[in-house]
Amino acid sequence: MSALPAMEAPRQPLAERILDAFPSGAYAFSALLRLMDIVESDAVQTAAVECRLQPRLLVNPGFVARHAASAEKLMMLVMHELHHVLLGHTTLFPRLTPVQNFVFDAVINGIVCRMFPEREHVAFFTDFYSAAEFPECLLRPMPGWPGRPRTAPGIASLPAEMRRVAEEVHRALYSTAGATYQEVYEVLPKLLGVQAVAGIPLLGAHGEDGEDGGLEARSPLLFDVVRSIVEQWPQPPDPIRGRSLADVLKQERTRPRKTPSARGVLRGLIRRIADARLDGAVRRRALAGCEALTPIPSASRRGLVQRALGFEPLLHPGSVPWRRTVRAGERVHVYVDVSGSMSGVKDALYGAILDCLPLLHPAVHLFSTRVADVSFAELRQGVCRTTGGTSIACVAEHMAAQNVRRALIVTDGWVGAPRGGHRDTLARARLAVAFFGNHNSADLAGVADHTGVITIGGKP
């Protein structure tokens, strides 16, 4: 009796392999992937995301078989392409030229390698790109990274001055803090030309039609998930707009500029949330009693004794009502958004806040992805401490730790919707929000007791 041929195990669909490759809950990317249809397609060379009403992740199965056969390598391929969406939706810079596309990939590869520095993950880039060729070696970690990194052979063969700059950029891309897009974009194009990057295979789609732009209109649900991920990331300043992942507090200086209209909005909001029944810094006009001598008899102890001795006093102690300014209300804690999106208006906001100092808690709380307190003196000097990103979570945690009951948040509103305990903390407090610029009022709508819009220079 002849033996039956062994049956081949059914090939696992590529979509299932991709979902299985991601650690459970890692970086919220699993939720992002589940919003997309994952489609095997030969129409793309590696992978690409179609940002439409129903987004699709297109993956070339042949490329996966040759270069991303393991779960770790497959995850790094998808991570790279997802970052094109995560960072491209903010119109980071126009991906129009081969050099700009190369810069974009160099920064993204550095990001995902720092997220997953294990050898099995990094092997996707080290196997695909050669360390001996320049500028291809900039698209992968240097030899020995992350333990004892050495200069890539492709950089070591360059002329001395060019070698120094290229080595600095390469090390910055794979350092703990990473390099911002602005830093890399200012340096690499000076070292590269169109001919230098010609023929170097890049991962993902690099079309010239601005595919990533307008994500909010083309796929609102995908946009909300993307924003919930990237809103935790710092932003570099213009001229290149977008997000940097170097989450390090940087000290800046801004020039305070007083603006009466902004002052009026802030004063109004502060007075509305300050409690007039408590003694504090907020002042109001009220009737108060003042002790004085009057000819009207009163039941004072001194008068009773004098009458018992047979002496009738001409004047008697009494109280005269009169209107004066009294202290009423609790000083208000002010949280000022100093993220990258507020960089052009911080001087005006500082000036407006300086006009309201008698109403405020002695420390002003600057927030990005962390809260950093500054004194009034530092505020006058224009001191700004920021990570560049934005998160309402750090405000809620600070309010809970400091038992803040009354607060004013000055922001453009792109801070993320508070959830869970953070939402409860904000909802319990008397909270006002002063929106500024091209603002988003939806994130804080459920927790704000009062809102207002600050106008600077005729523009909200």
Same domain, 314 and 364: no
| pLDDT confidence of residue 277 | 44
| pLDDT confidence of residue 320 | 67
Rg over alpha carbons for the chain, rounded to the nearest Å, is: 31
Same domain, 91 and 162: yes
* Start-end of H helices in 318-386: 346-354, 376-380
| pLDDT confidence of residue 416 | 83
Is residue 62 helix, strand or coil?
helix
Q: With a cut of 50, list the residues of the chain below it in pLDDT.
A: 1-2, 7, 89-95, 208-213, 233-250, 260, 276-282, 284, 326, 328, 458-460
| Sequence-distant (≥ 6) Cβ neighbours of residue 358 within 8 angstroms | 281, 282, 283
Rounded Cα–Cα distance for residues 27 and 233 (Å)? 12
Structure token digits, residue 355: 């006009």
Same domain, 215 and 352: no
Same domain, 306 and 409: no
- Under a CB-based contact definition with an 8 Å cutoff, are residues 331 and 282 in contact? yes
Give the angle subtended at the CA of 4 by the CAs of 3 and 9, to the nearest 5°: 135
- pLDDT digit string, tens, across residues 139-175: 999 999 988 889 999 999 888 888 888 888 888 888 8
Structure token digits, residue 126: 């080290």
Residue 77 lies in a domain: yes
Same domain, 202 and 105: yes
Residue 1 lies in a domain: no
Residue 172 lies in a domain: yes
Distance separating the N- and C-terminal Cα atoms of the chain:
86
CATH at residue 269: 3.40.50.410
Same domain, 299 and 392: no
| pLDDT confidence of residue 332 | 87
The one-letter code for the residue type at 118 is E
The one-letter code for the residue type at 218 is R
Same domain, 163 and 76: yes
Q: Which domain holds residue 39?
A: 14-230
Peptide bond into 220 cis (omega under 30): no
Same domain, 345 and 390: yes
| pLDDT confidence of residue 132 | 93
Same domain, 335 and 436: yes
Same domain, 300 and 438: no
Same domain, 115 and 20: yes
Split into its structural domains, the chain has a count of 3
Same domain, 299 and 400: no
| pLDDT confidence of residue 89 | 38
Residue 176 lies in a domain: yes
Rounded Cα–Cα distance for residues 234 and 368 (Å)? 8
Residue 245 lies in a domain: no
The one-letter code for the residue type at 75 is M
Residue 5 lies in a domain: no
Residue 115 lies in a domain: yes
| pLDDT confidence of residue 144 | 92
Give the angle subtended at the CA of 146 by the CAs of 192 and 160, to the nearest 5°: 35
Residue 252 lies in a domain: no
- pLDDT digit string, tens, across residues 42-62: 888 888 887 776 778 889 999
Q: Which residue in 276, 277, 317, 278 sits closest to 295, CA to CA? A: 317
Is residue 52 helix, strand or coil?
coil
